Structure 1
Amino acid sequence: MNITLNKQNGTEGILNVTIAESDYLTKVEEKMREYSRKANIKGFRQGKVPAGVIKKMFGKSILVEEVNHVVSHSVSDYIKDNKLRILGDPLPNAEKAREIDWDSQKDFEFEFQIGLVEDFSVDLSSKVKVSSHPIEVDQKVMDETLADIKNRFGKVSYPEVSEATDNLYGDIVAKGQEGTEQAKKGSFIAIAKAEKKEQKNLIGKKKDDVIEFDVEKLFSDAAEKARVLNISEEEAKDAKGTYTFTVSSVSRVEEAAIDQELFDKVFGKDLVKSEEEFVAKIKETIAENYARETAHLLDHEIQHYYVDHTKINMPDAFLKTWLKATSNGQVTDDVLAKEFNLYKESLKWDLIKNKISEDKDI
């Protein structure tokens, strides 16, 4: 077995693998004997099939399997022993492989294209500055959270006629498509979240009433518009036009009282005993969530900093070839044009993390 690396440049190379009969013959003969013991072939007792018959029937497939096995492991060992930092997997030269005559050849040559990463350094000195952005729990957030909790755990009733704080349930459809069943979608409107001057059009409604509205006038908030129209927020930003909403029911929530029953529902039995403890626990919970968000944002800031400021020469051409060759047709030139830079950034961040782990023996 002989493996040589021909570096074409700093980021691409060719592995040439030469394998002699002595490298694989023992394994092939062992596999032949195994087949002979286990093969169930008509006209022969199991375990008594002559070696010649086995060789004639399975010899080539066994040879191909064992040679490829030896080559694969040898290439992996070579990369590991020589501490080559590669991206993707070695790509075999398919044209050269097709030229092999498995019926007569004893020695074989294989060629693999590899993508290499040259050594690089990561600056972990005190000169690196990355900003963290802690999120404060202000009174507005506390008031909104408490109102949401009281509403969420409140008592629900179903009045006949809607008022300003009620919810309307029903079907929504773009005007002009009322007769198209596929265009009709289930929806609900929180009247209090509609624009103030438009709310009067939603108050005093009952089952089977039909409400017509301009969606841009009814909601300025894209998230609310998206929820009512059953579309994504991105789609909601451009949503416009007149819609009709057919009321199927009205719901009303009587806010929950701030008492022990509410404390137990929100945080578990007897974990909170007073309104002061309740408010403090809510604030603590929000602060914990904000701390996780802050840490998450900081992780992204660190990632962006090091991806932008760490110089790594990447084998772009190889990576594109490898992605296309190993994706079963899913990665095309169009996909690469749109997504390759994002993939490359992700790969670069993995390299940086691995480099830090190596340098710091983590």
Structure 2
Amino acid sequence: MNITQEKTGNLNAVVKIKIAPADYSAKVEKAIKDQAKKAQLPGFRKGMVPAAHIKKMYGKSILVEEVNNLLNDTLSNYITEQKLEILGQPLPQMDDAREFKWDNTDEFEFDYELGLAPAFDVNISPKDKFTQYVVKADQETLESRIKNIRRSYGKMTNPEVAAEGDVLYAELVQLGTDGSVFEGGISNTATIRLDLIKDKKVLKSLVGLKKDDVVTVDIQTVFEDTAAIAKALNISEEDAADLKSNFQLTVKNVNRLEESDLNQEFFDKLFGEGTVTDEAGFRTKIQEEVESMFTQDAERKLSNDIYEALLEKHSFDLPDEFLRRWLKATNEKLTDEELAEGYDDFAKNLKWTLIENKIIKDNSIEIKYEDVVAAAKAKLDAQFRMYSPSPLPEDQLAQYAVQFLQDKENANRTFEEVKAAKTFEQIKTIVTLDQKDIDYDKFVELDKK
């Protein structure tokens, strides 16, 4: 066997692999004998089919398979031994002039094009300065969060008169242009959340309604979007988008979720027995929780600022033409238009991956299984806390994390998240971070820019 490499550009190379019969004959003969032992053919007992018969019937397909296996192993080992850092996967070069007999006497030659990763150094120092925002919770956000939590632990009541924030259970019947019930029109019962109605005039017309009250409404102003209208009326979104009729709304019931009292029973449900004993302690805990969520937003912005700055600072080329061909070869449904529109983003993310990998390699950063499990637990814990501030028991959380990571996609995504987190933590130990307090509303405006 003979393997050679020819550089065809700064970031491109062609690997030529020549295979002689001596390289594959023994593997082919062994594969034929193994097939003969397992074959079940008419006229032969199992395991007693002559190898010559198998060779006559399946010899060519076995030869093709063994040569392909040999090629794949040889190319993979060569890339590893030569320590070639490639991008994408090797692309076979087609040569219509070459014809093989596939009769166990052929000398094969196959060429593979490689896209090579660029060589570069990561240049990060304390001269690189970034703002690390400390986001403070404003009173409106705190009160909204407190209200939602109290409602989560509250009870459902049925007041006589509807108020803002209540839910109406109502019958909706389509009206004709003259205001009378449209015969054969749309009708359905639905729930209407008054807190989601943005039109103040419409909201005013519904606040104060009682059971059996009847009003006429423009359906497009009662629900927040087309999907909500379709669900309420049990029709398609296409029909909902074109619906212009008024509807007769008859109140069947008024539902209200009363907020839980700020008492010891409520505090113990949220935080564990005796952890919080008064309203001041409760508000402090909620503020910590809210600002903890803001910390995640601030860290995300800091990471994005670092990402953009380092990409701009580290300018290097990629084997773009090769990568475009590779993307087309590995994504059959990818159109030329989609490739043209998406390639710049792909290249940008690939450049960041190369920077990330270089930082991990240069600093001998390890990503251990326990790191991935811890990340999965943190993610699941955050999801559960969206519905209740009470933490899950540690053993239950660990069990959920293991189940979550059994899904390959979840495991790969979590691994990449841990990898990114460790990379940014390493960067933050080198660059200069200037902390700055900022109110949440101002941070939101800043983050939109």
Q: 1:164 to 1:104 in 2, by over 3 A?
A: closer
Instruction: Name the aligned partner's letter for residue 36 of structure 2.
Output: S
Instruction: Name the aligned partner's letter for residue 217 of structure 2.
Output: E
Whether the 8 Å contact between 1:117 and 1:312 is mirrored in structure 2 is no
Residue of 336, 344, 349 corresponding to 2:347: 344
Residue of 297, 306, 313 corresponding to 2:301: 297
Residue of 284, 287, 312 corresponding to 2:291: 287
Give per-residue Cα distances to partners, 1:106-139, cap 9 Å, x unaligned. 2101111222222122212222223322211233
Partner of 2:433: none
Structure 1 Cα separation of the partners of residues 146 and 203 of structure 2: 24
Q: 1:344 to 1:156 in 2, by over 3 A?
A: same
**Greater shift in the superposed pair: 207-216 or 156-165:** 207-216
SS class of match (2:162): coil
SS class of match (1:113): strand
Structure 1 Cα separation of the partners of residues 342 and 275 of structure 2: 49
TM-score scaled by length of structure 1: 0.82
Aligned length: 349
Partner of 1:189: 193
Partner of 1:10: 10
Q: 1:162 to 1:74 in 2, by over 3 A?
A: same
Give per-residue Cα distances to partners, 1:159-201, cap 9 Å, x unaligned. 35423342234578999898775x9895633248645454321
Partner of 1:62: 62
| Shift of residue 46, structure 1, vs aligned partner | 2.9
SS class of match (1:68): helix
Partner of 1:254: 258
Partner of 1:358: 361
Q: Equivalent residues in 2 for 1:1-362 (5 A)?
A: 1-96=1-96, 99-103=99-103, 105-170=105-170, 188-191=192-195, 194-205=198-209, 206=211, 209-213=214-218, 244=246, 246=249, 249-327=253-331, 329-362=332-365
Instruction: Name the aligned partner's letter for residue 337 of structure 2.
Output: D
Whether the 8 Å contact between 2:167 and 2:191 is mirrored in structure 1 is no
Q: 1:165 to 1:354 in 2, by over 3 A?
A: closer
| Shift of residue 226, structure 1, vs aligned partner | 7.8
| Shift of residue 215, structure 1, vs aligned partner | 5.5
Q: Percent identity?
A: 38
| Shift of residue 143, structure 1, vs aligned partner | 2.0
Whether the 8 Å contact between 2:137 and 2:287 is mirrored in structure 1 is yes
Q: 1:248 to 1:81 in 2, by over 3 A?
A: farther
Structure 2, unmatched stretches of 5+, are 232-236, 366-449
Instruction: Name the aligned partner's letter for residue 286 of structure 1.
Output: V
Whether the 8 Å contact between 2:165 and 2:193 is mirrored in structure 1 is no
TM-score scaled by length of structure 2: 0.68
Structure 2 Cα separation of the partners of residues 348 and 169 of structure 1: 54
Structure 2 Cα separation of the partners of residues 20 and 148 of structure 1: 74
| Shift of residue 49, structure 1, vs aligned partner | 2.3
Give per-residue Cα distances to partners, 1:257-300, cap 9 Å, x unaligned. 11112213333444322222212211222222222222233222
SS class of match (1:266): helix
